[in-house]
Amino acid sequence: MTVHKKSSLLDRAFRNLRGVWGKIARTYEDFSEVDLSPDLSGGDRARLIGQMRACLEARGGEVSARSRAAALGQAYLALNDTGHKVFLCVLAEEFDVDHTRVDRAVAGLQEAASKSERELAETELKSALQAPRVTLLTQFNALPEGVKFLVDLRAELISLLGDVPELKGLESDLKTLLTSWFDVGFLDLRQITWNAPAQLLEKLIAYEAVHEIQSWDDLKNRLASDRRCFAFFHPRMPDEPLIFVWVALVRGMADNVQVLLDARAPQEDAEAADTAVFYSISNAQTGLRGIPIGSFLIKRVVDRLTGELNGLKTFATLSPVPGFRAWLDKILTEEGAEQIDAEKGVGRSKAAGVDYPLAAIRRLLARPNWFEDDKASDPLRGPLLRLCARYLIEERRAQGTTLDSVAHFHLRNGARLERLNWLADRSERGITQSAGIMINYVYELDKIDAFHEAYTGRGEVTTSREVDNLLKA
């Protein structure tokens, strides 16, 4: 199942540009569609700079400048990978902040004698610190699907940053622009049902990042009457979900995702459900990375469901622990693991009445399909749950946030770490990343603020007594 984004976007861009800009666009079509070689070789780099400058100076007026910027955007879509890199580097380097102007403005600021002179100098300094490329980026909004173009552009920049670090400033400018345009106040929360366009549903299949959707039947099952899917949309990208969440309406907090997704299970009565389980959240747009809309999504959905279904008392996730197995392997294989073990108090199995030193864990985990073998998985259950609790709560990054990214996301949102579920995800990914463990984080609306403050302010992870006991064991 593939969604051919780039090429279809290009198609539509070429087709629609006339529609939007009409005659004005036609004037500029020649130079953009004809002139540039796919890799911007030869004199094309210089020609491109010239065209960008013309846009910036708004020669012929702002309307024409927009139209030409749109033509440049089109031209970009027709370039190959090399061309893309050249284009972006031109934006990054030739239209960067003018440092001389900044220095002049700083001097002006320091000479300011009065309050009003100071204000003028600050304004000039602020303006000098704004790279001219921001104007160009803004002008690309004139493309028929300009917002999507810019989001995709940032996705491309992010993927290039490793190789071409000098694009960082451009990427950062684009992030600032998109942060303003994707302010949560502009986003629409929409429920997605089996009545949604196939074109949109197909994207859910393509973008689902946590529990792969196997088929259209699987998708239909996830949209049954006891399930919900919600997504944020931007008014200028009406057919593109930005981020989406899947919810199961159940009785009691779900503890196994395969059971939840079983197509043969009978549908429950949503009206009778007491728990909404958020079992997957996927960002659909790489180009919006770092722009915080996920936390709004969960809470808006909680509010929506509360209004719709009176029976719902608990709002919980069923989440993976994506970093657990990697961390565990590091622990298990580090030189002197047993010592580390001793220091950290990990595997104090005696206290739990069993004796499983790390070596034994290592051995059991090495068995093929250990999770399907009771003789391996039963003894692992206790130690791994305790290790996982420790991983989630005690392992922190330098700045004090939890090492596990999913845990960090929910704790930062004000959730409570409620329960660890053993062998709750037996999919390949579930085993490989989370050793099959899944977590219920619980959202209690009237405690979200307090928990958020506890975590972000004092670094405290709020847990249930059950999880506490795991830690103490």
**Which residue number, 362 or 452, has a Cβ lying nearer to a second copy?**
452
Bridge partner residues of 416 (DSSP): 442
The minimum distance between CB 442 and a second copy, in angstroms, equals 15
Q: Which residues contact 160 (CB under 8 A, 6 or more apart)?
A: 85, 88, 167
User: Of 84, 234, 408, 410, which one is the catalytic site residue?
Assistant: 410
CB of 151 to a second copy, least distance (A): 13
Round to whole Å and give the CA distance between 473 and 183: 45
Q: How far is the CB of 181 from a second copy (least distance, A)?
A: 7
Q: Kindly tell me which of 179 and 258 has the beta carbon lying closer to a second copy.
A: 179
Q: How far is CA 208 from CA 149, 219, 252, 399, 425, in A?
A: 21, 11, 25, 30, 16
Report residue 417: phi and psi, to 5°.
Answer: -80, 105
C-beta of 214 vs 369, nearer to a second copy: 214
Q: How far is the CB of 46 from a second copy (least distance, A)?
A: 22
Q: Any catalytic annotation for residue 410?
A: yes
Cβ burial of 361 (10 Å; 0-12, 13-18, 19+) is buried
Strand 314-317 and strand 275-283: pairing?
A: parallel
Are 133 and 170 in contact, with CB atoms under 8 Å apart? Answer: yes
Instruction: Print the SS3 string covering 116-151.
Output: HHHHHHHHHHHHHHCCCHHHHHHHHHHCCCHHHHHH
Tokens of 151: 């989001």
Shortest Å, Cβ 89 to a second copy: 16
Tell me the C-alpha distance between 407 and 385, whole Å.
15
Question: Which residue number, 4 or 472, has a Cβ lying nearer to a second copy?
Answer: 4
Q: Which is nearer to a second copy, 3 or 209 (by Cβ)?
A: 3
Cα separation, 163 vs 141, whole angstroms: 27
Q: Which is nearer to a second copy, 37 or 138 (CB)?
A: 138
In the residue annotation, 349 being an active-site residue is answered as no
* 170, 347, 462, 473 from 90: Cα distances, Å: 10, 56, 49, 59
**Per the residue annotation, which of 319, 349, 377, 434 is the catalytic one?**
319
Whether the Cβ atoms of residue 141 and residue 131 lie closer than 8 Å to each other: no
Phi and psi at residue 247, in whole multiples of 5°?
-125, 135
Closest separation in Å from C-beta 66 to a second copy: 7
Give the residue numbers marked as catalytic: 319, 410
